[in-house]
Structure 1
Amino acid sequence: MSVLTDPKKIALHGGKYFLPQLSVDCVILGFHDGELKVLLLKMHHSAHWALPGGFIYKEETVDDAAHRVLEERTGLKNLFLQQFHVFGNPARSSSKATVEYFKKEGIHLDKNSWLAQRFVTVGYYALVDFAKAQPHPDLFSDACEWVSLREAEDLFMDHSDILQKALETVRLQLNYQPIGFNLLPRKFTMPELQRLYETILGKPLDRRNFQRRMLAYGILKKLAEQKKGVAHKAPFLYSFDTQRYRKALAAGLDGGW
């Protein structure tokens, strides 16, 4: 499959290559300095930031399109990527706004253009290692950056709604699937893991109950090492048992938060 890299060809002739009126949008989440962050694009000719997304080639699956977008924006492959919702509000995009946007790009579209039609988008979320991701803008954006969830407001089109729905889904996932493998470094402390869960859930968790529960799942390995460079008693480091973690992703966990 040859990937189109010419913005003008995409705009004027993309209807020959892409599925009509269907797209994907990806909520890519990373954890850094005790904060959950989302990867956003700063669009050309716009004050708005947008979620990474793209069109679906006629010869690829919807899942493959989402994985392609994830790799193009982060440089990462074979990561946990989950479809979570379909967004199909008839008013989610504007034919007039699309024509005006491409006019600023120096590309003339008429109202019957494939790009000026109503689009339904399939939402995916990905949990990635902040340190390993290499953000890269797409053909229609000036920048691709990590943005704190506190600052991710007033996004392009309905992307704020897509982001909120993704966060709701991740919070629900915590009730029956593990989280952290792609968000934390290979070695981490129990307080760091708890901080991740508290950040996602938006509420504090009891330290003893959290530790007892996480250890009971059997997905963690306590290491002989302790965290260096801390002021007080150095906490032990942990890592995920990859095999048991993946089994828990497939089979689920008991209980909720």
Structure 2
Amino acid sequence: MLTKKQLIEFCSDARKNYLDHVSIDCVVFGFHEGQMKVLLLRPHDETKWLLPGGFVMRQEPIEMAANRILKERTGLDKIFLQQFFVFGDPDRAKFHHDLYKEMLPDDENWFSNRFLSIGYYALVDFFGVVPQPDQFSATCTWRDLDDMPEFLLDHEQIFKGALDALRLQLNYQPIGYNLMPKQFTMPELQKLYESILGKKLDRRNFQRRILGFGILNRAEQPRKGGAHKAPYLYSFDLEKYQNALTEGFKGGW
């Protein structure tokens, strides 16, 4: 919670520099040790959590605002971003309004505005992210996709909407280039898909289908070491991957 002085400074800066009524909330997905992760923030003196988000500067394109907000939280410059929905419940800012209503009258309190929030999901390299909390938060960290905490505001709805959109993307666009290491095995890529979908996939069917997309290159030599037969390493063919993002493909998992 901000002090009254900090709140006055924040509201003054917000009214001067940002659009009224428009915000951005981002669901940031990473992949580590066979598990999808989501980047979350926990506000000061709170047990519930929030998604990374922020406001749009007056002369700033929406996409640029989303990239700026995520760079502040992750340290990354180039991020795969997909806009998926606009959230506009009239009471979505009620928590912050009630939190600070005793400090400032409504005409001076930025959180008295009704905000439409543009939802994005982002796919990032887990190891490239340096989580940074914002001024309202005590911590910014990764949480497992299958172990989400309780959310503030409507952020559980936004998170679920992003996950649904990501699962839908698997049916017509490739996933993995922004999440996997440069080289990976077929079981590791399958684990990524299973983690997103929340279900097991048949190994042979998965391999046949993913190779049929024509977006992978197989290394000449298998991975070295290990007691069992060494699996082959794969990497994404970036040109074909980008074409698949643009043109898409059919089917479901």
Give the corresponding residue for 2:36.
36
Tell me if the contact between 2:31 and 2:192 (Cα under 8 Å) persists in the aligned partners: yes
From the superposition, tell whether residues 124 and 255 of structure 1 become closer, same or farther in structure 2 (CA, over 3 Å): same
Distance 2:223 2:79 in 1: 27
Equivalent residue number for residue 17 of structure 1:
17
Distance 1:141 1:225 in 2: 47
Q: Is the CA contact 1:12–1:109 (under 8 Å) kept in the aligned structure 2?
A: no
Cα gap change, 1:229 to 1:159, in 2 (>3 Å): farther
Q: Distance between the aligned counterparts of 2:103 and 2:33, measured in 1?
A: 44
Cα RMSD after superposing both structures: 1.7
Q: Aligned match of 1:236 in 229, 232, 235?
A: 232
Deviation (angstroms), 1:58: 0.3
Give the match for residue 80 of structure 1: 80
Task: State the partner residue of 1:108.
Answer: 103
Relative distance call for 1:7 and 1:132 in structure 2 (3 A) is farther
TM-score (norm 1): 0.91
On the 8 A contact 2:48/2:149 being kept in 1, the answer is: no
Question: Is residue 36–residue 148 contact of structure 1 (8 Å, CA) maintained in 2?
Answer: yes
Q: State the distance in 2 between where 1:228 and 1:116 align.
A: 60
1:16 deviates by 1.7
The one of 116, 126, 132 equivalent to 2:128 is: 132
Asked whether the 8 Å contact 1:227–1:235 carries over to 2, the reply is yes
Count residues in correspondence: 247
**SS at 1:30 equivalent:** strand
SS in 1 for 2:233: strand
Is the 2:30–2:38 contact (alpha carbons within 8 Å) kept by the matching residues of 1?
A: yes
| 8 Å contact from structure 1 (residues 21, 114) kept in 2 | no
Displacement of 1:8 in angstroms is 4.6
| Counterpart Cα distance in 2 of 1:191 and 1:7 | 50
Q: Does 1:190 align with 2:167?
A: no
Shift of 1:99: 4.1
Give structure 2 stretches of 5+ with no counterpart. Answer: 1-5
Structure 1: 5+ residue stretches without partners: 1-5
Identity of aligned pairs, percent?
Answer: 51
CA distance in 2, matches of 1:87, 1:21: 12
Residue 93 of structure 1 corresponds to 93
Alignment partner, residue 3 of structure 2: none
Q: CA deviation at 1:213?
A: 1.0
- Please point out which of 203, 214, 222 is paired with 1:226: 222
Q: Which residue of 2 aligns with 1:249?
A: 245
Distance 1:122 1:66 in 2: 9
Matched ranges for 1:45-64 at <5 A: 45-64=45-64
